[in-house]
Structure 1
Amino acid sequence: MTKRRSESLRDTLEECIAVGEFVPGHHLDETELATRFGVSRTPIREALIQLASEGLVEIRPRRGAVVAEIGPARLVEMFEVMAELEAMCARLAARRMSDTEHAALTAAHLACEDSCQARDPDAYYLRNEHFHSLIYAGSHNQFLAEEAQRLHRRLRPYRRLQLRVRDRVATSFGEHEAIVAALRAGEADRSARLARDHVLVQGQRFADLIASLSLLQETA
């Protein structure tokens, strides 16, 4: 029971980090969190240890747990790796996805369209996550899918932050459109290239991300 509770709390705290409620550098006080969620400090401590193993939280001497902070250079490196993992998933998915999986991906894409038209970046962010998870699963390589999902989770706050940049949601949806078409056509190399470009942070997108990070730090 305690293990299930700590895992549930881990998911809740991870979501708070992903949506920006707990920003990088935020101190995660065990007593305050225990009071907030109506539990003892033990499952809170276990949840924080789990988040630390994922890289989302740092446990520092005399300060306790804080939301991890990532410098711009390190962040770009992580996005580079994420882009390659996405490309690998897309390349395999183009060859291996079933008709049922294509139908599910199309449905997820249309759900993203609803959020795009509503100009709701938060709703789009959640549906965008589902869209990408279907491509990971469609690779039919469980190890690859798990690694992609792990890094995706680590980058969640920053991927969400990008969607708040002007016109990024509409651009992202257009990129999804091309990826879906390439996957359905079974074009492995094109699917990989489109998926990689969709995630890479360079040029203007790099400048936008750095500007967003500066705003995020000001609210910390």
Structure 2
Amino acid sequence: MDSPVTTRLSEQLREKIEESIVTGAYAPGTRLEEIDLAEMHGVSRTPIREALIQLEAVGFISKRPRKGWEVTAIPAPRLCEMFDVMAEMEAMCGRLAARRATDVEQRRIRLTHQACQRAKEANDPAEYYRLNEVFHLAIYDASHNAFLIEQASALHRRLRPYRRLQLRVRNRMHTSFNEHEAIVQAIEAGQGDVASDLLRAHVVVQGERFTDLVSSLESLVSPKLSVVA
């Protein structure tokens, strides 16, 4: 049985590797070698293997026969299906949050939104993305539906690299912030249907946003598979 120290180390390593995937440092198709990662992080292969198993469980990587671990490349149509489901989950969270959010939860959503504004004005996409995630999770929590929170959070985590990619598109950060403002106002006003519609439109990937996402994905993929060393 793993000790708490070993478990925590594997979780820290998972977060580091996941962040490299999220930021595009490990593009789809990149091979991840246990021994190289262990040397890179100054640890044994055991916590690295555990971290990779955790990443496989949420779909970030997969294990290929005779090829080892590989960063998962999701086909664009499949990715859009996942965003469709995410949009519906967020729409439900918004509708329930507008009905159920406490004053404290409404204030948390508003304060997080204001923090996003500061990141936007500082032209800091990385910080905006981090706060954007906090903003959405605050809306999930305000839904007061534990099962919905669990499922929405899991899918949000799975889509993290791709939601982050969208902020690279020109003016998307500013557009995202303006959409957030309308969502916050609807939640504060108790307008469930409005909040639902706004969140659905905010998350779903269609039309030009589909083209932009595919373009961003293509820019990340190397001409040939690389090995993390």
TM range (shorter): over 0.9
Query: Which residue of the other structure, out of 85, 91, 94, is the alignment partner of 1:90?
Result: 94
User: What's the offset of the Cα at 1:165?
Assistant: 0.3
* CA–CA distance in structure 1, aligned partners of residues 218 and 66 of structure 2: 27
Instruction: Tell me the equivalent position of 2:144.
Output: 140
User: What's the offset of the Cα at 1:69?
Assistant: 0.5
1:22-171 pair list within 5 angstroms: 22-171=26-175
* CA–CA distance in structure 2, aligned partners of residues 71 and 182 of structure 1: 34
The letter of the residue matching 1:73 is P
The answer to whether the 8 Å contact 2:109/2:135 transfers is yes
Structure 1: tracts of 5 or more residues without a match: none
How many pairs align? 220
* CA–CA distance in structure 1, aligned partners of residues 31 and 222 of structure 2: 15
User: What's the offset of the Cα at 1:38?
Assistant: 1.4
Stretches of 4+ moved more than 3 A in 1? none
User: What's the offset of the Cα at 1:47?
Assistant: 0.8
* CA–CA distance in structure 2, aligned partners of residues 156 and 15 of structure 1: 9
* CA–CA distance in structure 1, aligned partners of residues 168 and 215 of structure 2: 11
Higher deviation after alignment, 88-97 or 174-183: 88-97
User: What's the offset of the Cα at 1:37?
Assistant: 1.3
The answer to whether the 8 Å contact 2:27/2:222 transfers is no
Instruction: Tell me the equivalent position of 2:13.
Output: 9
Higher deviation after alignment, 209-218 or 189-198: 209-218
Instruction: Tell me the equivalent position of 1:19.
Output: 23
* CA–CA distance in structure 1, aligned partners of residues 69 and 104 of structure 2: 43
Per-residue CA distance 1:82-134 (angstroms, 9 max, x = gap): 10110111111111111111111111001110111122211111110010010
Instruction: Tell me the equivalent position of 2:207.
Output: 203
* CA–CA distance in structure 2, aligned partners of residues 216 and 166 of structure 1: 17
* CA–CA distance in structure 2, aligned partners of residues 22 and 4 of structure 1: 23
Q: Percent of aligned pairs with the same residue?
A: 56
Q: Supply the RMSD in Å over aligned alpha carbons.
A: 1.1
The letter of the residue matching 1:183 is I
The letter of the residue matching 2:42 is G
User: What's the offset of the Cα at 1:152?
Assistant: 0.7
Secondary structure at the counterpart of residue 221 of structure 2: helix
Per the normalisation by structure 1, the TM-score is 0.97
Per-residue CA distance 1:174-211 (angstroms, 9 max, x = gap): 00000000000011111111000000101111111111
* CA–CA distance in structure 1, aligned partners of residues 10 and 222 of structure 2: 31
* CA–CA distance in structure 1, aligned partners of residues 67 and 142 of structure 2: 42
Secondary structure at the counterpart of residue 24 of structure 1: coil
The letter of the residue matching 2:117 is E
The letter of the residue matching 2:97 is A
The letter of the residue matching 1:155 is L
* CA–CA distance in structure 1, aligned partners of residues 43 and 99 of structure 2: 47
Query: Which residue of the other structure, out of 211, 216, 219, is the alignment partner of 2:220?
Result: 216
The letter of the residue matching 1:159 is R
* CA–CA distance in structure 2, aligned partners of residues 6 and 126 of structure 1: 22
The letter of the residue matching 2:180 is H
